Amino acid sequence: MRLPLGVVVLDPSGTALSDDDRRRMTHPAVGGVILFGHNYQDPVQLAALTEEIASLREPGLFICVDHEGGRVQRFKDGFTAIPPMQQLGRLWDRDRQGALACAHAVGYVIAAELAAHGVDFSFTPVLDLDYGSSEVIGHRAFHYDPNAVGVLAAALVKGLAEAGSAAVAKHFPGHGYAAVDSHVGVPRDERKGADILRKDVAPYIPVIASGLAGVMPAHVIYPDSDPEPAGYSRYWLQEVLRKRLGFDGLIFSDDLAMEGASTAGGIPERAQAALAAGCDMVLLCQNPKGQDALLAALGEAPMAVAQRAERMRHKGGRDLRKSVAYREALQAMEKIP
């Protein structure tokens, strides 16, 4: 079945595709598939699942995952344990060159192992600053210093790229200060917009320069700048991210099933608000009924979105786990505390 990539990213229901999964994934509005822990049993099962997803249509849907490290690593058995990024920040405090080498190695290992199982990319790196106030971010953040976050994340992005994988930075402009978890509430960051631009947005500059392919905005309201959450904000997505920072890659909404996205109404209204604000693609996860309602409300994606989406596909087909570079990356990771 030949269809251009659409704007929706959704997840399958289990470790193998159901008839309903296949029906949704061949809808013209779908452009990608995200996998979670409930979609993983072991490496053999994962490879079979991704192979079937890729065979459903032409061009194939891209396949992605949240595989940051620490507590956010969906595939564990059979994969290298990726440390939380905070550990790279701690290494940075005593050995900056060593930390950069380790960040690069982490990116390479993530990309090589995902690609070997048919997964195109991970939603990583996290560019939120570690203010110590957000439990949902916590040790997922590299550091509290914007410079450290920017250079460490840029090194990780380059490692991903060397193993053929795109990178998606999150959660723009920053979820590190707001204490409320956007999965279960609507966070607000009451700081002045100028302060957020000076601190939280700063890491995006070197990371975009390193070849960043995607950005995911936060379900956080920054009332000094806009009454809407960043994912529904033309100011944050078009004025700041596109114009000021010059970002020309894909903008993904965060999961529209999260409570932080509820300010726009029902699922179709949330998607329309995100797309109108400047998101290119919208995620809706672990919500089959909502996915059906969303697909019924959407049509095909603009050609520009389909072209940008092609940048997310893994580049190169060989199994890099047999390479010298992969072995050296694993050895480098042993230096992470």
pLDDT level of residue 327 (50, 70, 90 thresholds): very high
229-243: b (≥16 Cβ within 10 Å) or e:
bbbbbebbbeebbbe
Residue 29 lies in a domain: yes
* Ramachandran angles phi, psi of 319, nearest 5°: -80, 105
Residue 20 lies in a domain: yes
Q: Which residues are catalytic?
A: 183, 254
pLDDT level of residue 154 (50, 70, 90 thresholds): very high
Q: What gap in Å lies between CA 188 and CA 206, rounded to an integer?
A: 26
What is the model's pLDDT at position 263? 94
Residue 23 lies in a domain: yes
Q: Give me the DSSP letters along 163-189.
A: TT--BEEEEET--SS--S-TTTS--B-
- Residue 209: its H or E element: helix 204-209
Residue 156 lies in a domain: no
For residue 69, the cross-strand partners are 72
Residue 15 lies in a domain: yes
Which residue range forms the structural domain that includes residue 19?
1-65+281-312
For residue 321, is pLDDT > 70? Answer: yes
Q: Identify the CA nearest to 28 among candidates 53, 49, 5.
A: 5
pLDDT tens-place string over residues 207-237 = 999 999 999 999 999 999 999 999 999 999 9
Mean per-residue pLDDT over the chain, rounded: 95
Cis peptide before 171, with omega less than 30 degrees from 0?
A: yes
**Number of structural domains, the chain?**
1
149-158, 290-299, 304-313: which is most confident: 149-158
Q: Identify the CA nearest to 325 among candidates 131, 166, 115.
A: 115
Contact between residue 31 and residue 279 where contact means Cβ atoms under 8 Å apart: no
Cis peptide before 227, with omega less than 30 degrees from 0?
A: no
For residue 258, is pLDDT > 80? Answer: yes
pLDDT tens-place string over residues 51-71 = 999 999 999 999 999 999 999
For residue 287, is pLDDT > 70? Answer: yes
pLDDT tens-place string over residues 118-143 = 999 999 999 999 999 888 899 999 99
Residue 205 lies in a domain: no
Distance between first and last Cα of the chain: 48
Residue 127 lies in a domain: no
What is the model's pLDDT at position 21? 98
Compute the residue count for the chain.
337
For residue 36, is pLDDT > 90? Answer: yes
| The one-letter amino acid at 200 | D
Q: What gap in Å lies between CA 246 and CA 320, rounded to an integer?
A: 32
Cross-sheet strand order for the sheet of 250-251: 168-172, 214-217, 250-251
Distance of CA 45 to the CA centre of its chain: 23
Residue 324 lies in a domain: no
What is the model's pLDDT at position 4? 79
Q: Identify the CA nearest to 170 among candidates 210, 130, 217, 134.
A: 217
| The one-letter amino acid at 334 | E
